[in-house]
Amino acid sequence: MHKLFVHPLPVRVWHWINALGFVVMIATGIQIRYIGLIDLVSFKPAVEVHNAVGFVLIANFFGWFLFYLFSDKIRVYLPELSPAKHFAASFRQLKFYGYGIFKGQPNPHHVSVYHKFNALQSMTYQIVMLLLVPIQCFTGVLLWDVERFQSAITLAGGLRVVDTVHVLVFIFFAGFIFIHPYLASLGHTWSAHFKAMITGYEEVEDE
């Protein structure tokens, strides 16, 4: 077992701001959408907190995007250009999560500095970070000030369409917030990946 520095400080700061922000956004979003289901605070403060944290997360996203765009770490997000290799690696990872992990088999993915995501993670994070997060930010800004962005809302299909898209992506993230910690617990110990996102160092088994 040896340690490998995989998560730079900007990535770790972004990750924990994002994690805390998502929990707050989900809680306040449910409060706003389903009045009476959760009564942590009254409606107006829930909206104010939701909006404020939303803008913090938008700024956080741009910080993440610029860090990767202007550093060599962008290589961790570059996709496998061979569809055959990508699907073969995805299938191996699916077999591991669905069967191999329960039989004590080794993880088919081996972490490296520029290859920290397995095939399934790589595909998922590209969809989440480059498609769903921007969509959620965009629709959130439109809903923040409907009068100011009325023309953009009309161009997007109307208020109902914008609101529906925002809620659907919210449902995805609400599920993701539970699935992500579970998958993060599947290291050689349940806390290994959590510690790595604090220290920056992943513990990697010697081949």
What confidence tens digit (pLDDT) does each residue in 22-71 have?
A: 999 999 998 888 877 777 778 889 999 999 999 999 999 999 999 999 99
pTM: 0.89
- As a whole number, the mean pLDDT across the chain is 91
Examine the pLDDT at 190 and tell me if it is beyond 80: yes
Measured at the CA of 18, the angle between CA 16 and CA 21, to 5 degrees, comes to 105
DSSP 38: B
CA distance 66 to 19: 19
- Mean pLDDT computed over 166-184: 92
User: What amino acid is encoded at 168 in this protein?
Assistant: L
CA 190, 132, 62, 19 torsion-angle sign: negative
4-13, 109-118, 135-144: least confident range: 109-118
- Classify domain 2-204 at the CATH class level: mainly alpha
Report the candidate in 53, 51, 52, 26 with the shortest Cα–Cα distance to residue 40.
26
161: which residues sit within 8 A by CB, 6+ positions away?
Answer: none
Query: In this predicted structure, what is the pLDDT of residue 79?
Result: 78
Contacts of 134 (CB under 8 A, 6+ apart): 61
